[in-house]
């Protein structure tokens, strides 16, 4: 029983090291952005009906809130406080603009400045949530 507990503790420590590694954070942010692009690759007439009933702007805010959270999580150990926030925001806005530009190339999809603006709000919200959560955890 004691050997099992010891092995389980080592495995848990290894998993935690992986999850908290810089490489994992990079892959998580990049992977999530690729999922966003994958969703943007669906031609307009093939968008699942469940998403047609969901307010479009809500989907934009939710997906970019997650992206903002992942970006700030990745950059927080790379830069001092103000630079990490600006860096995450700039990266998120660039992702939003690229996503909207990419949608112009997809049949029955269009690029919308308002969507990119809502995406930027989502990124800022993700950064804010991460910052407030970390501040509360560090008290």
SS3 at position 54 = coil
Q: Which pLDDT value is given to residue 50? A: 55
Q: Which pLDDT value is given to residue 79? A: 86
Please state the three-class secondary structure of 55-124 as a single string. CHHHHHHHHHHHHHHHHHHHHCCCCCHHHHHHHHHHHHHHHHHHHHHHHCCCCCCCCCHHHHHHHHHHHH
Q: Which pLDDT value is given to residue 80? A: 83
Please tell me the total count of domains within the chain: 1
2 belongs to a structural domain: no
Which helix (H) or strand (E) segment is 52 a member of? helix 49-52
14 belongs to a structural domain: no
pLDDT in tens, 107-139: 888 888 999 999 999 999 999 999 999 887 764
Q: How many C-beta neighbours within 10 Å does residue 33 have?
A: 21
Separation CA 61–CA 32 (nearest Å): 14
3 belongs to a structural domain: no
4 belongs to a structural domain: no
Q: How many C-beta neighbours within 10 Å does residue 19 have?
A: 10
41 belongs to a structural domain: yes
pTM score, whole prediction: 0.80
17 belongs to a structural domain: no
Q: Which pLDDT value is given to residue 56? A: 77
Q: Which pLDDT value is given to residue 20? A: 74
Residue 64 and residue 94 in contact, taking contact as beta carbons nearer than 8 Å: no
Separation CA 29–CA 110 (nearest Å): 25
User: What domain range includes position 59?
Assistant: 22-137
pLDDT tens sequence for the chain (139 residues): 555 565 455 556 666 677 678 889 999 999 999 999 999 888 876 565 555 556 778 889 999 999 999 999 999 888 888 899 999 999 999 999 999 999 999 888 888 899 999 999 999 999 999 999 988 776 4
């Amino acid at each position: 029983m004691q050997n099992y507990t010891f092995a389980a503790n080592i495995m848990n420590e290894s998993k935690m090291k992986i999850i908290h590694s810089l490489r994992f954070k990079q892959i998580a942010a990049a992977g999530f952005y690729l999922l966003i692009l994958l969703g943007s690759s669906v031609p307009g007439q093939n968008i699942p009906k469940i998403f047609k009933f969901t307010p479009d702007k809500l989907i934009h805010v939710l997906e970019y809130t997650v992206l903002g959270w992942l970006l700030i999580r990745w950059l927080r150990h790379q830069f001092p406080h103000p630079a990490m926030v600006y860096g995450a925001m700039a990266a998120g806005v660039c992702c939003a603009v690229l996503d909207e530009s990419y949608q112009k190339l997809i049949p029955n999809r269009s690029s919308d400045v308002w969507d990119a603006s809502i995406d930027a709000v989502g990124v800022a919200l993700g950064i804010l949530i991460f910052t407030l959560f970390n501040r509360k955890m560090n008290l």
